Amino acid sequence: MTGIGFEVLARDGAARLGRLDTAHGPVQTPAFMPVGTAATVKAMTPENVAATGARILLGNTYHLMLRPGAERIAALGGLHRFMNWSHGILTDSGGFQVMSLASLRKITEEGVTFRSHFDGSRHLLTPERSVEIQRLLGADITMAFDECTPFPAEREAVEASMELSMRWAERSRSAFVERPGHGIFGIVQGGVHPDLRQRSAARLVEIGFDGYAIGGLAIGEGQATTFAMVEVSVPWLPEDRPRYLMGVGKPADLVGAVKRGVDMFDCVLPTRSGRTAQAFTREGPLNLRNARHADDPAPLDGECRCPACTGFSRAYLHHLVKSGEILASMLLTRHNLTYYADLMAALRAAIGAGRLADFSFGGAAP
């Protein structure tokens, strides 16, 4: 296999049931990728992440280049061995984090000069260096380096940013080293402007990538606008390549995007919510801080297979949360990731059976 493999197995409207083949095994799509920014999914062991059903997760170039360092991870056998994860890894290019976390940024045609938010050290991140870092990490899927345009922004600024990202995309593609089971995705930009999104998608297809991400969304524009930008982008993307909506989102966001032809997702929401006492259930989200759970013997979700639901009551989980126990974060994070994995499995089953129009998963109605 040269690069990554992707096959569409079934369709239901715009939605696709697929299989993505990487150097570290297959991924059934639509798929949700848990976020493991710093080589760990917070409050989870790798075995527990895999037990939820996840077969690919996300790492991050920016965080790992600063701490502990890409060359160090490479010397220790690569990111998979470093974090004891035997399945697929997609690495974000670092562009979003440079824009949102780093200080004293200066953007030029060459790349972005910035100071680390950890220790103030100065760095230059270029498309070539971003791709090199991701190769050192051993990512199955590398992301092209781009500028994440802030929202809101004037159209002129969005257009200039998109054009810069397209030039960086071409450099990222040229810097990528082909090897079996590994691929690189381009990222569609263009803010909330349909014509810019279409130009960006067409340019990326002209360059030629193994997959295509829709970026620069879920940053405050609202669900309806997110869906609209997906709808104008997808028709310009190849049918035989995976599509990835970056940073999305809530369960209903995932359902709506799958119905519009998206195959892959990532978001910190299920893990962050697990650490802040929120659980996603088929009844809708629950806040375990609420006193109404203190005497409730029922499980979080009677249909869920996770240890939080099969072994403990809402009353006990409420007690853990109120007591500040670490186990609360562990159990609720695993529950939320299991919920997301089961949601994606249900979507795959509905697409395969041609029943997506009638899809229902409790609190995940689109």
| Catalytic positions | 92, 266
**DSSP letter string, 238-257:** -TTS-EEETT--SHHHHHHH
Nearest CA-CA partner of 43 in 303, 219, 302, 307 = 307
Angle of helix 223-233 relative to helix 251-258, nearest 10 degrees?
A: 20
Quickly tell me which residue has 């470093």 as its tokens: 82
CA dist., res. 43 & res. 249, Å (int): 20
The answer to whether residues 102 and 115 touch, using CB atoms and an 8 Å cutoff, is yes
- On the 0-12 / 13-18 / 19+ scale of CB atoms within 10 A, 295 is exposed
Tokens in use for 84?
Answer: 């004891």
CA dist., res. 218 & res. 145, Å (int): 18
Please give the C-alpha separations between residue 87 and each of 71, 337, 343, 346, in angstroms, as whole numbers. Answer: 21, 16, 20, 21
Q: What are the φ and ψ backbone dihedral angles of 22, each rounded to 5 degrees?
A: -120, 175
Distance of CA 320 to the CA centre of its chain: 29
Q: Which residues of 323-362 are buried (b: 16+ CB within 10 A; e: fewer)?
A: eeeeebbbbbbbbbbbbbbbbbbbbbebbeeeebeebebb
Tokens in use for 325?
Answer: 């126990």
Angle of helix 194-207 relative to helix 223-233, nearest 10 degrees?
A: 40
